[in-house]
Amino acid sequence: MATGQQNLPHRQLTGDSDNEAIPDTDPSDTSSLLLERLQAWKHACGYLQDYIKETEKVEKAQGKEYERVLKSVSNPLKEGHHFDQNLGGIAGLFENIRSNTQGIVNSHLEAEKNLKGSVLPILERLHVEIKNKTKELSKGAVKGSKEVDKARNNTQKYIELLGQHTGSFSSSSGKLDASNDPYILQRGVKHRLQKQVLEENNNRHDLLAVQDSFQQFEAHVIQTIQQAMTAFLQCVGGQSERQKAMYSDIIANSQQVPLDFEWKGFVQRNNNTLIDPSVPQRTVSNIGFPNQNHLATQPLIAGSLERKSRAALKGYSTNYYVVTRSKYLHEFKDDSDFKKDPTPELSLYLPDCTVGGITGATFSVKGKDSSKGKVGSALAMSHELNFRAHTPSDAEKWWGIIRNAAGEATFTSSTPSSPTDSKAGSGQQMPPPRHQQQQQPAPLQTHNVPRTGTQSSAGTSQSAGDIPISGGAGKPHMNTPTSASAGLKSGVDRAPGQY
Q: At what angle do helices 28-71 and 182-255 cross, to 10 degrees?
A: 20
The pLDDT assigned to 253 comes to: 92
How far apart, in whole angstroms, are the C-alpha atoms of residue 354 and residue 487?
12
Instruction: Check if the beta carbon of residue 370 is closer than 8 Å to that of residue 349.
Output: yes
Half-sphere exposure of 167 (CA within 13 A, CB side): 5
Nearest by Cα to 117 from 247, 35, 232, 12: 232
Nearest by Cα to 293 from 485, 145, 429: 429
Contacts of 124 (CB under 8 A, 6+ apart): 49
Instruction: Check if the beta carbon of residue 387 is closer than 8 Å to that of residue 305.
Output: yes
The pLDDT assigned to 318 comes to: 92
Q: What phi and psi, each to the nearest 5 degrees, are found at residue 11?
A: -80, 130
Instruction: Check if the beta carbon of residue 119 is closer than 8 Å to that of residue 171.
Output: no
How far apart, in whole angstroms, are the C-alpha atoms of residue 129 and residue 127?
5
With residues binned 3-state (H G I as helix, E B as strand, rest as coil), the percentages for the chain, rounded to 5, are 50, 10, 40
How far apart, in whole angstroms, are the C-alpha atoms of residue 19 and residue 17?
5
Q: Is residue 403 packed enough to be buried (19+ CB in 10 Å), middle (13-18) or exposed (0-12)?
A: buried
Instruction: Check if the beta carbon of residue 45 is closer than 8 Å to that of residue 222.
Output: no
The pLDDT assigned to 370 comes to: 87
Instruction: Check if the beta carbon of residue 51 is closer than 8 Å to that of residue 79.
Output: no
**Strand pairing category for 316-323 and 354-359:** unpaired
How far apart, in whole angstroms, are the C-alpha atoms of residue 90 and residue 253?
10
How far apart, in whole angstroms, are the C-alpha atoms of residue 329 and residue 325?
10
The pLDDT assigned to 404 comes to: 93
Q: What phi and psi, each to the nearest 5 degrees, are found at residue 302?
A: -150, 145
Q: What angle do CA 458, 460, 466 make, to 5 degrees?
A: 130
Contacts of 294 (CB under 8 A, 6+ apart): 413, 414, 416, 417, 423, 424
Instruction: Check if the beta carbon of residue 324 is closer than 8 Å to that of residue 299.
Output: yes
Give the distance between the most distant pair of CA atoms in the chain. 198
Run of H or E including 461: strand 461-463
Half-sphere exposure of 1 (CA within 13 A, CB side): 6
pLDDT by residue for the chain (499 residues), tens only, comes to 444 444 544 444 444 455 666 666 666 677 888 889 999 999 999 999 999 999 999 999 999 999 999 999 988 888 888 888 888 889 999 999 999 999 999 999 999 999 999 999 999 999 999 999 998 887 766 677 777 778 878 888 878 777 776 766 666 665 667 777 777 777 888 888 888 788 878 878 877 888 888 889 999 999 999 999 999 999 999 999 999 999 999 999 999 999 999 998 988 888 888 888 888 888 888 888 899 889 999 999 999 999 988 776 778 899 999 999 999 999 999 988 888 888 898 899 999 999 999 999 999 999 988 887 766 666 777 888 999 999 999 999 999 999 999 985 333 333 344 443 433 333 334 444 433 443 343 333 333 333 333 333 334 444 444 433 333 333 333 333 333 333 333 333 433 433 3
How far apart, in whole angstroms, are the C-alpha atoms of residue 377 and residue 370?
5
Contacts of 116 (CB under 8 A, 6+ apart): 56
